[in-house]
Amino acid sequence: MKEQGRLNLVPRTSPHSIVRRTKADGWHLQIPPGDDRAYRLAQVDDYSNLRRAKLPYMPELKFNIRARCSSENIPGTWGFGLWNDPFSIRVMPNVEILRLPALPNAAWFFFASSHNYLSIRDDLPAEGSLMATFRSPKIPPLMLTLAVLGLPLLLLPPIARMVRRAGRLLVQQGAALLSHNPTDWHEYGLEWRSRAVAFELDGERVFETQVSPNPPLGLVIWVDNQYAAALPNGRIRYGRLANQEPAWVEVDQIEVLRSL
């Protein structure tokens, strides 16, 4: 294996959230307490100013991180890993980037409070401490952008159920629950190969799936107060959650090893 050079992680925060470096490869990410009216985010990533085609990571890669969090039940989501930032729509004129929607490709440790339901399959866990992957084909972004115009139809449960079933034909998914206390320091590992992804906790392999995301991907570490749920009964829920106390994630020993 060979280690990548120092990671170029860039903070992204909402008002009053905190991202600070704690050591050369360590970060403290924190969102303030508040009600459900405002979105709160603390994040570092290495892709915000890149086109999706230029994201830095390809298969045959190992990602390691040491982490802990403030609570076993942070309202919203938090986690770390690799994805293609599929849902953003933004224009970045300084770097001449037009970012349109894409289908999800990801391999990550994803922690979702009980308000979430993040699976299009009924036989996989949809909230909790998740080890998860998504693999999707690369559909022209303009087609997906036009499809966004039909999102209000998802408020009709029969339509939402039909779209959820159709989504399984396009998006493959692998997921398993992780049993541990995330408020303690743990070492998390993710081995991404072209035909499989393996997850490790404290040096022990705990899950492997053949659902390997389509490259390229970028690295993200975050905590926020957002939730999303696409329930099997066709109900769609999306919004923000109140958190009575500051919610934080601390990470260090972040490394990316290439050429497995």
Please determine, for residue 174, whether its predicted confidence score (pLDDT) is greater than 80: yes
CATH number of the domain bearing residue 124: 2.60.120.200
Please determine, for residue 98, whether its predicted confidence score (pLDDT) is greater than 70: no
Task: Give me the residues paired with residue 228 across strands.
Answer: 238
The two beta strands, 61-69 and 77-83, are unpaired
pLDDT of residue 198: 98
**Residues 204-213: tens digit of each pLDDT:** 999 999 999 9
pLDDT of residue 96: 42
pTM of the model: 0.91
Q: What is the mean pLDDT of residues 6-23?
A: 93
Both tokens of 54, joined, read 């230029």
Residue from 109, 105, 100, 130 nearest 118 by CA: 130
Q: From the CA atom positions of the chain, what is the Rg in Å?
A: 18
Rounded mean pLDDT of the chain? 89
pLDDT of residue 157: 79
Say if residues 81 and 108 touch (Cβ distance below 8 Å): yes
pLDDT of residue 167: 79
Please determine, for residue 80, whether its predicted confidence score (pLDDT) is greater than 70: yes
> 42 lies in which domain range?
2-258
pLDDT of residue 2: 56
How many domains, in total, are found in the chain?
A: 1
Please determine, for residue 95, whether its predicted confidence score (pLDDT) is greater than 50: no
> Pseudo-torsion of CA 234, 222, 71, 128, nearest 10°?
30
What is the pLDDT confidence band of residue 94, given thresholds at 50, 70 and 90?
very low
Say if residues 256 and 59 touch (Cβ distance below 8 Å): no
